[in-house]
Amino acid sequence: MDPVLIGLTVFVILGSLAALEMKSLLSAVIAIGVVGLGLSIVFLLLGAPDIAITQVVVEVIVVTVLIRAAARVPEETPTLRASRARTFAGAGVALIAVGLLAAAFQTLPAFGSQRFAPALWYLENAPDLTGATNVVTAILLDFRAYDTLGEATVILTAVVGALAVLRRPERPKEGSHV
């Protein structure tokens, strides 16, 4: 197993802990940016350059928006301490979830040992059937094009939702009797 991969993943975990525990909101947002960019390098090492590129672009947009949001709200974090009981209960639930997941992962084939059956079919046939050399885009835009259409729909819905939420409330017009 690659020690670089393990080191980077541990770095991502530490970054996300820092993002949650930082007092300053702006520092927390920057820590979440570190998490996303570290993760994109992990993706690159795991043989997924398409994902790495997308992750970088998305992370830049998300961090920009979060910085705008963090600058607009006051720093009330110091007064927002969770009670000790709640911290322990939350950490306990998270630990139980991690334990259950780790137990479930024991049943999986070992990391890096095998691929799932559909992978071989796609790798063998996708380049010839679609003419695309990149199998990921071949699946994304040919075999699963409706998936991508659905993705575009979700993005549109999210944009419409955000606009509806952020719209300034309309003042009632003079003379109207609503």
Residues 56-85 interacting with another protein (rule: CB under 8 A): 58, 61-62, 65-66, 69-70, 72-73, 76-77, 80-82
Nearer Cβ to another protein (133/176)? 133
Q: Report the residue from 37, 41, 86, 177 that binds another protein according to the rule CB under 8 A.
A: 86
Binding flag, residue 49, another protein (CB under 8 A):
yes
Our CB check for another protein shows the closer of 116 and 174 to be 116
CB of 170 to another protein, least distance (A): 15
Distance of closest approach, residue 109 Cβ to another protein, in angstroms: 9
Using alpha carbons only, give the angle 7, 8, 11 rounded to the nearest 5 degrees.
Answer: 90
- Name the residue among 70, 33, 71, 38 with its Cα closest to residue 52: 38
- The residues in 101-160 that bind another protein, with binding defined as CB under 8 A, are 101-102, 105-106, 108, 110-116, 118-120, 122-124, 126-127, 133-136, 139-140, 144, 147-148, 151, 154-155, 157-159
69: Cα separation from own chain's centroid: 18
Number of residues that bind another protein (CB under 8 A): 91
Alpha-carbon dihedral of residues 153, 159, 164, 170, nearest 10 degrees?
A: -130
Among the listed residues 13, 24, 27, 129, the single contact to another protein using CB under 8 A: 13
Residues 6 or more apart whose Cβ sits within 8 Å of residue 133 = 127
Q: In angstroms, rounded to a whole number, what is the distance separating the alpha carbons of residues 33 and 70?
A: 14
CA–CA separation, 58 and 158 (whole Å): 15
Give the position of tokens 């000790």: 84
